Amino acid sequence: MPAVTLAFDPDDTPACAHAALAAHNPAAGQVTVHPTPGTDHPADLAHDVLAALGKPYTPSGRWNTQPALTWAAAAAWARTAGLNHLILLRGHLLTPARWRYLLAFQQHTGSHLTVVCHRTPTPALTRALASVDHTITHGLPAYACPGPGHHQSQPAHIPTATSLPWLTLPALTYLALTDRPEPPCDCTPPPATADRLPMEPPPGRTEEAAARLHRLAHPTHAAALAAALITGVPFSQLAAVHPTDYHSARATLTLHAPARHRTPARCAVYRVPGWARPLLDAATRYHQHRKPPGSRLLTDTQPTLTPLLQAAEHCRLRPPQDPSGRSRGRFPRPHFPEALPDGPHWTACIPLPNLPPELQSAALQ
């Protein structure tokens, strides 16, 4: 089968569109993308692909408008999900730039690409396909249609982020305590033991927290918040995680202790639960594709706390709050662009007597 199929439907028949939409089946590795009308920016099409893959949550930020990064995220999620076939409607409306990113996505993921066009291919499309193994069909090809006995199931409803209620998770208590990344560590920590099992959210909230993180479009932020829920450590330790600290086959994540108290015995290996493994796998693929050598796994190229808090607030995830509604003054709420008006006080309810020794100095700054 050629890498790309151009399905020509000059009469714009409803049957062709209905068949393409009915073939959407992410669980079987096949998704159908209907580009958002009135958009022509390459990053917008990447977000359409991400939404089709079940990743519609995109907090405000510069990352959302950078095509190279958004398409890299789409490719990372597609490879993690085992995507083998992408069907795109309204292909005749794509700009040359969108075509370039779409074909690069196909080559990077190795998935088959079927593009439905309703008008004669444009010169830009003809040039783009000149060096690509492709075929042209009249109407949707059989391998892009629902199989025999297929019953179209309604896609799972994904609530908008703004409609979500706040979910309070004790594991996020220390996340925003300090934003200074720890220096690298090359020790060999002891193996995972019973006292280093994953920290689980309160009963009944694990599934909801995981579902929200799985809807985030940015692989790095989704993986970092998952690691925060598993370990309960501050951002400074998450920002020090090297790609080799995550072992996908063994499902383990190594976190190193702060430098001033660092010994191999204090550096811990955590077991990664099943719900978090796809997030860390996608972050690893995204890192391999877009980040320079030597960069960290769970942060952007510039390791700052703000984007991670934006992602958490977008998913309506927060640490425990002061019941009185007042900050205790010692830890002011971080302010950053696009912060939610009703956002949490990230360090308002930290129990100072129980603060780990390595964080005492940070708490007093």
Q: What class does CATH assign to 4-144? A: alpha beta
Looking at residue 42, the DSSP 8-state letter turns out to be H
> 218-259, pLDDT tens digit by residue?
999 999 999 999 888 889 889 989 898 999 998 999 888 776
Give the residue range(s) of CATH 3.40.50 domains in the chain: 4-144
Length of the chain: 365
Give the residue range(s) of CATH 1.10.443 domains in the chain: 166-318
> 150-188, pLDDT tens digit by residue?
555 555 678 888 889 999 998 898 898 877 777 777 676
Q: Average of pLDDT values for 75-99?
A: 94
Q: How far apart are CA 239 and CA 302, in angstroms?
A: 10
pLDDT confidence of residue 194: 41
CATH architecture of 166-318: Orthogonal Bundle (1.10)
Angle at 26 between CA 18 and CA 317, to 5 degrees: 120
Beta partners for 8?
A: 117, 138
Contacts of 5 (CB under 8 A, 6+ apart): 112, 113, 114, 115, 134, 135, 136, 137, 141, 144
The pTM for the full model equals 0.87
CB 45 within 8 A of CB 39: yes
pLDDT class of 213 with cuts at 50, 70, 90 = very high
CB 303 within 8 A of CB 296: yes
> Residue 297 is which amino acid?
L
Looking at residue 32, the DSSP 8-state letter turns out to be E
Query: What is the SS3 assignment for 210?
Result: helix
